[in-house]
A and B are shown apart, each in its own frame.
Chain A
């Protein structure tokens, strides 16, 4: 099992450019999510999905879109990049249901917007 994979590992964008951060998992997890991590802010939830075709907003969704067409993939789209979106982005997945569900994180994408 590869677990949770993210591409690219690093990306530099100019203000106004768009791009898609890729996330895939091979554990058949229903739940997938995107977080951003900024110094002094901790991890904040951007969007999440509890299954194919179902997505919802987290704490900081503005400027980002997601879709979930398959169980395995959960891409995050930046529509028009802004310097405030410079961050480290983590994708995570887990089973749904039960009381204690370990979330597995991908290695992260380090994004710089100039």
Chain B
């Protein structure tokens, strides 16, 4: 079983919609959690860290549920530019990232 699991999608949503992605992880000793964004044929880039209390950055909200070992990402008011693959990332230390396979999002006009 892979350590980090994500629904690969694709999620096709219209502009302005709200979309949510979930991710589960298997190692209860995991300490740090992130969402990375990867555009087609580009390198991954950090979207946001995920804190225990949940956190928000503009239209993006991340939640962590340690008891159920899952992480979520909510995108409100989707823009065309949000189309990308969203990677759930988990670590047991301060480096050596464990990546999910990614969830593909396509926002349509």
A residues touching B (Cβ–Cβ < 8 Å)? 31, 33, 35, 40-45, 48, 50, 58, 90, 92, 94, 96-103, 105-108
Contacts and interface: CB of A to CB of B under 8 A. Distances in A.
Contacts of B44: 43, 90, 105
Contact of B45 (A50, A94, A99, A105): A105
Interface in B31-85: 31-32, 34, 42-46, 49
27 contacts: A33-B95, A35-B99, A40-B8, A41-B101, A42-B87, A42-B99, A42-B100, A42-B102, A43-B44, A43-B99, A44-B99, A45-B97, A48-B95, A90-B44, A96-B94, A97-B94, A98-B94, A99-B94, A100-B49, A101-B95, A102-B46, A103-B46, A105-B44, A107-B42, A107-B43, A108-B42, A108-B43
A42 to B, nearest CB: 4
Nearest to A30: B95
Interface residues of B, number: 20
Nearest to B4: A42
